[in-house]
Amino acid sequence: MNGYRCIACADTQTADFADFLCPACGGNLEITYNYAEITKNVAQGLDDGNDIFRFAPFLPVAKLDTPFPLRVGATPLYAAPRLGESLGLRNLYLKDDTLNPSASIKDRASAVALQRAIDVGAKTVAVASTGNAGSSTACLAAGLGMRAVIFVPESAPQAKLAQSLAYGATVLAVRGNYDDAFDLCLAASVEFGWFNRSTGYNPFTREGKKTCAYEIWEALNGWVPDRVVVPAGDGNILSGMWKGWCDLQAVGLIDHVPKIDCAQSAASAAISHTVRRIRDNGDTEPDWSSVRVDEVTATTLADSISVNRPRDGLAAVKAIVQSGGEAIAVADEEILAAIPEIARSSGIFAEPAAAAPWAAVQQMVRDEKINANELIVCLVSGSGLKDVGNAQACSGTPLIIDPSIEAVREKLT
């Protein structure tokens, strides 16, 4: 790690900078590296092991003395031929990040952020969350023996709250929305001196999420997908995915990068709206310091991507524009319908936010933005078990029968 650079004004800070936002403009920071050094280290081979810390040369944390207590990352990339065929797509893949310790991609971010907290001697980690970042922080903090304080909107799905409580975190359910929880977490972290892991605000979260790109690249034996479709609320998964591919290019492991497509609900589409506005203005590389990301009043049922004010919005908008990706906003009904479609043709159970990429692919096919031969990776970011209510709403109800063979025959014939 070299230091930090502001996503908005490009001002730089040295590695010993102790804050999280750009002192010049208040923008989010991105961590910068000495890529020549990484190239040298990677040439000596990646570490053994079966988690994201295998990618140590690309990570901004001290080398671990002992293995991380839970296996984060190393999730499978599955070919999804039957799901693809349903739209005439020949090369569709699903990156199953439901198979992380707390059942979402958030564990990648939490692992790096908590390791950073350890590096700087923090004992308590706080996070604002729509649900998954909280349950993930709670999970990994439990594994590491740290204290976690979680700020969630009161409406967060029960499963995510139950997870966080079971892991022993202090869960503060804020009477308000995610944005209220975020602002309160920020103020409380300053007041009580906690390490704030909140998404986007803390630049280390993006560094964890970028490992997802490395794993996709490895699983494809060095091929680069044409597009990676990523759900976006705050936009941090998306900006992380982009950074992962950019890192691989910067160290010469790949010679081009994929398009990163953004999948949002039309009822929470601040990032997609902003990208469209930029493109409508004909701006291919705007002055990023003057770009303002839209704010919306989010009403989507996909709780993980229900965000009024995206906390990593500018980085996500930049990633979509620079990669040439699409900014897609789909109806909530399409997101819900995508859950059983994915589950029935691949065996992967997604929560609504995690099903949004497949709904976005359908829209791109309808709009003739995708060619049937493209290599497409949809990120499945969180498990359907986290939101059973919405899963039930789109998957039907059981057939209730008497305990007899006749009753079975009657229903099945």
Ligand X SMILES: Cc1ncc(COP(=O)(O)O)c(C=O)c1O
Binding site for ligand X (CB under 6 A): 104, 106, 130, 132-133, 199, 231-238, 304-305, 351, 353-354, 381-382
Q: How far is the CB of 311 from ligand X (least distance, A)?
A: 7
Asked if 379 and 229 count as a contact pair (C-beta separation under 8 A), the reply is: yes
Q: How far is the CB of 16 from ligand X (least distance, A)?
A: 27
Q: Least CB distance from residue 260 to Zn ion, whole Å?
A: 23
For residue 232, the partner it binds in ligand X, Zn ion, none, with Cβ less than 5 to 8 A by kind, is ligand X
Cβ nearer to ligand X, comparing 341 with 351: 351
Q: Which is nearer to ligand X, 91 or 132 (CB)?
A: 132
Q: Which does 25 bind (CB under 5 to 8 A by kind): ligand X, Zn ion, none?
A: Zn ion
State which residue, 77 or 232, has the beta carbon closest to ligand X: 232
- Contact call for residue 172 and Zn ion (CB under 5 A): no
Residue of the chain from 13, 22, 139, 305 that contacts Zn ion (CB under 5 A) = 22
Q: Give yes or no for residue 61 binding Zn ion (CB under 5 A).
A: no
Q: With respect to ligand X, which residue has the nearer C-beta, 231 or 325? A: 231
Q: CB 178 → ligand X: shortest distance, Å?
A: 9
Q: Name which of residues 310 to 339 contact Zn ion (CB under 5 A).
A: none
| C-alpha to C-alpha distances, 245 to 8, 74, 132, 228, 234, nearest whole angstrom | 20, 17, 24, 10, 19
Among residues 2, 11, 218, 365, which is the contact residue for Zn ion, using CB under 5 A?
Answer: 11
Task: Please select the residue that binds Zn ion; options are 24, 165, 172, 219, rule is CB under 5 A.
Answer: 24
The answer to the question of residue 59 lying near Zn ion (CB under 5 A) is no
Cβ contacts of residue 160 below 8 Å, gap of 6+? 129, 131, 132, 134, 135, 152, 386
Considering the rule CB under 5 A, would residue 12 count as an interface residue with Zn ion? no
* Nearest-approach distance from CB 177 to ligand X, in angstroms: 14
Is residue 372 a contact point for Zn ion (CB under 5 A)?
no
In the complex, least distance from residue 97 CB atom to ligand X, rounded to whole angstroms: 8
Window contacting Zn ion (CB under 5 A); options: 8-16, 104-112, 211-219, 280-288: 8-16
Check binding of 9 to Zn ion (CB under 5 A).
yes
**Total interface residues for Zn ion by CB under 5 A:** 8
Q: Distance between CA atoms of 292 and 310, rounded to whole angstroms?
A: 11
**Cβ-based nearer residue to ligand X, 225 or 382:** 382
- Tell me which of 15, 25, 401, 408 binds Zn ion, using CB under 5 A: 25
* Stretch binding Zn ion (CB under 5 A), from 27-35, 37-45, 64-72, 260-268: 27-35
Residues of this chain that interact with Zn ion (CB under 5 A) are 6, 8-9, 11, 22, 24-25, 27
